[in-house]
Structure 1
Amino acid sequence: MLQSCYRPLEVCFGGGGGRGTDDLLWHMDLKPHAYGDYSIAVVQANSSLEDQGQVFTSPSATYVGVYDGHGGPEASRFITTHLFSYLHKYTSEHGGLSAAVIRKAFVATEEEFLRIVEQSWRVNPQIASAGSCCLVGAIAKDVLYVANLGDSRVVLGRRSEGRRSNHSVGVVAERLTRDHNVAVEEVRKEVEALHPDDSHIVMYTHGVWRIKGIIQVSRSIGDVYLKKPELSRDPHFWQIGLPIYLKKPVLSSEPSILSRKLRPQDAFLIFASDGLWEQLSDQVAVEIVMKNPRVGIAKRLVRAAIEEAAKKREMSYEEIMRIEKGRRRNYHDDITVIVLYLDQRSPTGEGATDCTSLPVDIFSLHTDEADNTPLFSSH
């Protein structure tokens, strides 16, 4: 029987919640999964923690989720409580994991959230503007699946091939996801091609490219007002913003899905919200992981990102960490990092370590809806 406990995040993770410079930083240093170890760290910058994260482990599979919310935490919280359940349901029904199963779970999550919004937005118009990027990784039977909506990113650290590499620490970064963000010219052209009759579909405002001058990501869960033209024209919705007249949806919920066989040179995976990648390049991130101890490695990446943000403002790490949530968003975004080490091939295959004692666990970062207190649940 699965049991769950809900405790303050700082109690379960270690760090954060007390006095000092790490009040908004929570982390879990190292835990086992079917193919190695993993580490998690989260730092809050927004008034409400909009990032959410999950790791599910069993003796035969590992699942990772990073959900970067915007317009409020409702969509990312919803994904946290529903997506893995749909993945489990459809994997059981279809006899195993596949790209089709993952896509079906994404569709079900999106449709269920849309139903909730349609039932409640007249009472709570803000929920119609809540959305979330959605990044999922899954490993089963030596196959890695990655599914993505938005601009969270997974980067593989691949061992380099000795003398042919110029990287001193012997690791090469391989990006496994595509950022669905109109800051990327290819994505911008893709959106423009889908809306040839709308000369303002992508606009350059406040120093960045945005769809309809509003949002940078082109794919998400939620953001119902940008997917339901009839909603965007309803005066009830104007309570939270200017009228937006749409002829058709301007955002998509279709995930990009990659699958590939794990290879001997695959060393680790970094799953992170864009708050990390705004500060660190793919190569810098994998080098940090490769040359440092495993324990606390996700926290080390978060610290490196904050140090970079501080350097841009000519501040110290300690100074930026003393800034309260809400105001902190002027310096960096919420950041969620999950590092997944790949030590072995199939847990039941030749050369695998013993995973028979590995429990079925699911760890989720989320927030209490009543007071926005960060929580960490272990099932």
Structure 2
Amino acid sequence: MAVVQANNLLEDHSQIESDSLSNLDSGPFGTFAGIYDGHGGPETSLRNKEGYSGNNRRFFSVVSRQWSLKAQIAAAGLRCLVRVICSGVLYIANVGDPRIFLEKLVRATGEALSIQLSTEHNACIESMRQELQSLHPYNSQIVVLKHNVWHVKGLIQVSRSIGDVYLKMAEYNREPLYAKFHLNEPFQRPILSLELAISVHELQLDDQFIIFASDGLWEHLSNQEVVDIIQRSLLNVRFSW
């Protein structure tokens, strides 16, 4: 695992847990790994495995209790991606824009290919803009192009998240929350979705690596570029021996 701290306050966390240190993916309960990419504060980037719905309920409760003293907590949110490997099967759950992909070896050619296993919930992706527009058919400004980047209501790039209560409950989109987070018109339904995306992949012998990271990496490198870096690193390790 690796983390690069971009802000004065670290808002991100990662986690690996296994029931078998000697054979990470063969124990009866498998292995768990997750990345938690926080924004607007560290409050939602939790280290524990309370669960997706539990984290949402707990955070909404925290916002309700602290609103009068710390209103900006309503603008704290989390994008996350977790994976579990158990009995040769990879289970993935994600919300927001972290990405996971698989590196697969093509034995006939020796080529290493990247196979993306998740879809980012980000307004920069056309399918996500279409999803937002279908969920909010009467809101012509649900997605806004701002500084050549698509944003939901001109405020945030992700279309799904944990937290971000100010875009899910209208009663928290007002003072004393900073004015820059205020919408010009009230909303009747949540702007951002809580829906978690889940996928399953049966691992094969030619599957080499699973790589996942937050958008901080994918803004600079493509899937294949990451695969190439891994392959060069492995080559250097082999020569060093």
Output the TM-score relative to the length of structure 2: 0.89
Question: Residue 45 and residue 187 in structure 1: after superposition, are their counterparts in 2 closer, same or farther (change >3 A)?
Answer: same
Q: Does 1:73 align with 2:42?
A: yes
Contact kept, 8 Å, 1:155 with 1:173, in 2: the verdict is yes
1:289 corresponds in structure 2 to 230
Pairing of 1:225-244 with structure 2 (within 5 A): 225-232=166-173, 234-237=174-177, 239=178, 241-244=180-183
More helix by share: 1
Contact kept, 8 Å, 2:123 with 2:129, in 1: the verdict is yes
AA aligned to 1:243 is H
Q: Does 1:254 align with 2:200?
A: no
Contact kept, 8 Å, 1:125 with 1:240, in 2: the verdict is no
1:154 corresponds in structure 2 to 100
Pairing of 1:102-141 with structure 2 (within 5 A): 105-141=51-87
Contact kept, 8 Å, 1:137 with 1:146, in 2: the verdict is yes
Question: Residue 46 and residue 294 in structure 1: after superposition, are their counterparts in 2 closer, same or farther (change >3 A)?
Answer: farther
Contact kept, 8 Å, 1:126 with 1:240, in 2: the verdict is no
Give the root-mean-square deviation of aligned CA atoms. Answer: 1.8
Q: CA deviation at 1:106?
A: 1.2
In the aligned structure 2, how far is the partner of 1:295 from the partner of 1:158?
Answer: 20
1:44 corresponds in structure 2 to 5
Q: Alignment partner for residue 209 of structure 1, among 150, 159, 168?
A: 150
Q: CA deviation at 1:207?
A: 1.8
Q: Which 4+ residue blocks in structure 1 deviate beyond 4 angstroms? A: none
Identity of aligned residues (%): 42
Contact kept, 8 Å, 2:155 with 2:181, in 1: the verdict is no
- What per-residue deviation string (whole Å, max 9, x for no partner) do you get for residues 129-176 of structure 1? 00010100111111110110011111111111323xxxxx62100111
In the aligned structure 2, how far is the partner of 1:294 from the partner of 1:136?
Answer: 29
Contact kept, 8 Å, 2:14 with 2:47, in 1: the verdict is yes
Q: CA deviation at 1:236?
A: 2.6
In the aligned structure 2, how far is the partner of 1:242 from the partner of 1:269?
Answer: 37
In the aligned structure 2, how far is the partner of 1:290 from the partner of 1:119?
Answer: 50
In the aligned structure 1, how far is the partner of 2:89 from the partner of 2:43?
Answer: 32
User: Where in structure 2 are there 5+ consecutive unaligned residues?
Assistant: 21-26
In the aligned structure 1, how far is the partner of 2:154 from the partner of 2:61?
Answer: 26
- What per-residue deviation string (whole Å, max 9, x for no partner) do you get for residues 76-98 of structure 1? 1xx223xx2x3xxxxxxxxxxxx
- What per-residue deviation string (whole Å, max 9, x for no partner) do you get for residues 88-141 of structure 1? xxxxxxxxxxxxxxxxx2112111111111111221011100001010011111
Q: Alignment partner for residue 181 of structure 1, among 122, 127, 139?
A: 122
Q: CA deviation at 1:46?
A: 1.4
Output the TM-score relative to the length of structure 1: 0.57
Contact kept, 8 Å, 2:81 with 2:99, in 1: the verdict is yes
Q: CA deviation at 1:247?
A: 2.5
AA aligned to 1:49 is L
In the aligned structure 2, how far is the partner of 1:146 from the partner of 1:203?
Answer: 30
Contact kept, 8 Å, 2:41 with 2:77, in 1: the verdict is yes
In the aligned structure 1, how far is the partner of 2:195 from the partner of 2:235?
Answer: 35
Question: Residue 221 and residue 294 in structure 1: after superposition, are their counterparts in 2 closer, same or farther (change >3 A)?
Answer: farther
In the aligned structure 2, how far is the partner of 1:226 from the partner of 1:205?
Answer: 18
AA aligned to 1:201 is I
Secondary structure in structure 2 of the residue aligned to 1:137? strand
Higher relative contact order (CA 8 A, sep 6+): 1
Q: CA deviation at 1:264?
A: 0.7
Q: CA deviation at 1:243?
A: 2.6
Secondary structure in structure 2 of the residue aligned to 1:110? helix
